[in-house]
Amino acid sequence: MENIEHNYLNNGGQFWLAINNHQNIVGTIGLIRLDNNMSALKKMFVDEGYRNLKIGKKLLDKVIMTCKEQNIDGIYLGTIDKFISAQYFYSNNGFREIKRGDLPSSFPKLDVDNRFYYRNLKD
């Protein structure tokens, strides 16, 4: 959560929080602008006690709506093997798995990421 302004906002990206009734952060999602009208989804997280309440879906829908409003053509993301629920979530929301070599050069790769996904927003 450190440096949201530097890592997201100053570079044309955005960052959203899901807040519960007690003003606690229960979910996050970030969007980074890449070259060629593309973007990267980062820091998607929903607190374990708030999963299965559609919070992740609402956050992702907000990102997709924002991307379409800004004429972004697609969204890339990285995750890891052990996050099976996340992979299922992304697949069920229109993302398809791609190879690391298919990522744009401007995608901010993390060494731990070993699964990559893309969603086309042009259709």
Q: Looking at residues 61-83, what average pLDDT do you find?
A: 96
Q: Are 113 and 79 in contact (CB under 8 A)?
A: yes
CA 45 – CA 20 distance, rounded (Å): 14
CA 75 – CA 73 distance, rounded (Å): 7
pLDDT for res 43 = 92
Where along the chain do its domains lie? Answer: 4-120
pLDDT per residue over 6-45, tens digit each? 777 777 789 999 999 999 999 999 999 998 899 999 999 9
Chain Cα centroid distance, residue 47: 15
CATH 3.20.20.60 fits 4-120, yes or no: no
The token pair that represents 12 in the structure block: 């044309």
